A = this chain, B = another copy of it.
Amino acid sequence: MTQNLLIRNARPLGGAPVDLVIRDGRFSPPGDQPPAEVIDAAGFIALPGLVEAHTHLDKTLIGMDWYENRVGPTRNDRILADREAKRDLGIDARRQSARQVLQTLKYGVLHIRSHVDVDTEIGTANIEGVIETREAVRDLVDVQIVAFPQSGMLPRAGTLDLMDTAMRAGADIVGGIDPATIDRDPVRHLDEIFALAERYGKPIDIHLHEPGDLGAFCLELIVERTRALAMQGRVMVSHAYCLGMLDPARQRALIEAMAAENISVMTVGSPAAPALPLRLMRECGLTTASGSDGIQGTWEPWGNGDMVERAKYLAQRNGMTNDADLAETMRICTVGGAEGIGLSGYGFAEGDFGDLVLVPARTLAEAVALTPQKRTVIRRGRMLVRDGEQVADLSGRFSL
């Protein structure tokens, strides 16, 4: 961490070329000593670490046998298939989460918020597995763990106690899921998870797929509780499809109400789900993050976890093609994500953590459109990936 690194000719977030100095793991002013190492960034764009604000590290099947998906189309079909798969495929949450973290490190994903299943069949085994990975990669990638009641919480007796156990075991965030359509009692569901968050002094992140006015109602309940418990800046709503399904007046009012409580939204930009009004959300100052959701699992067979490609998905889903809009989607996958999941020391200012991803592109828009793969990834002044190839020796750290 005492290494002194000079990166010449990098363009932070696509801006003018600068030289960056990292000393003791943080961006620093140029000092008197010559740098121990000099890197020529060749005018590439520098991003301050990609932020994966929503994935499911415990459920990826990377490197396992191909899973033949015969699952029906409803969310409930998928929840059942998912629970079956956890049982039948012997998915090892520790190993699988490590595989995904290493895969996405090559893209420059340095911060991950992962929902991790808690249910009455597996208990907190997945939480414990992903905690092992979180600790093993602590100096490479920040991993935040959300205790997530995927199969429902209130209808499945014992789940709430397991959520409590998960928080005691070291989960970082309290999760929730569809208070109405899955848990069948929106007020009680939200009261319980807000109480849990208060008890452990932790943030909240709620999966909210509820449609239209039902979703809007749940969002109102979330806004009320965030205000009442002074949880501003500590509540994220994931998906929030309803925001893309309301009439314009109601849509704006709700977005403004969320922004006023500094609630953030995570959207994947899924091609088959309602598109969130990204421009309006930005105009209203609503913090917006993005994520890959599950990759290569029983829910969806695809996904690579590349958050630059995710910026492209966001733009494509919103019919955005001009450069300014593409730069905005890249902002969502970097600084928006950092704000949304509550990172500190994120950016290129002096004193910020010395993390950066060099992307060979002329503009942010080009990076989003073409997702160049030969990236260089530096964490706290240490080169981990060079031109798309892992250069740091991480052997002995995991069993994969």
Contacts and interface: CB of A to CB of B under 8 A. Distances in A.
A370 B60 CA distance: 13
Contacts of A71: 321-322
Nearest to A272: B319
Interface in A310-333: 312-313, 316-319, 321-324, 326
Contacts of A366: 66, 301
Interface in A72-129: 73
B322 A365 contact: no
A300 interface: yes
Q: Summarize A's interface: helix, strand, loop or mixed.
A: loop
A66 B302 contact: no
Contacts of A250: none
A296 B68 contact: no
B73 A319 contact: yes
Nearest to A361: B66
A65 to B, nearest CB: 8
| Copies of this chain held together in the complex | 2
A346 interface: no
A271 B365 contact: no
A3 interface: no
A273 to B, nearest CB: 8
Contacts of A362: 66
Given A271-B271, A301-B326, A321-B301, A363 B316 contact: no
Contacts of A270: 316
Interface string A57-73: 00000000010111101
B69 A318 contact: no
B272 A369 contact: no
A370 B296 contact: yes
Nearest to A304: B370
A323 B69 contact: yes
A316 B312 CA distance: 14
A369 B271 CA distance: 15
A259 interface: no
A299 interface: yes
Interface in A344-372: 362-363, 365-366, 368-370
A316 B272 contact: yes
A122 to B, nearest CB: 22
A160 interface: no
Q: Please list the 7 inter-chain residue pairs (A to B) with the smallest Cβ-Cβ separation, ordered nearest first.
A: A272-B319, A301-B369, A271-B271, A302-B369, A271-B316, A69-B322, A271-B317
14 contacts: A66-B362, A68-B323, A68-B363, A69-B321, A69-B323, A73-B319, A272-B316, A272-B317, A272-B318, A296-B369, A301-B323, A301-B368, A302-B368, A302-B370
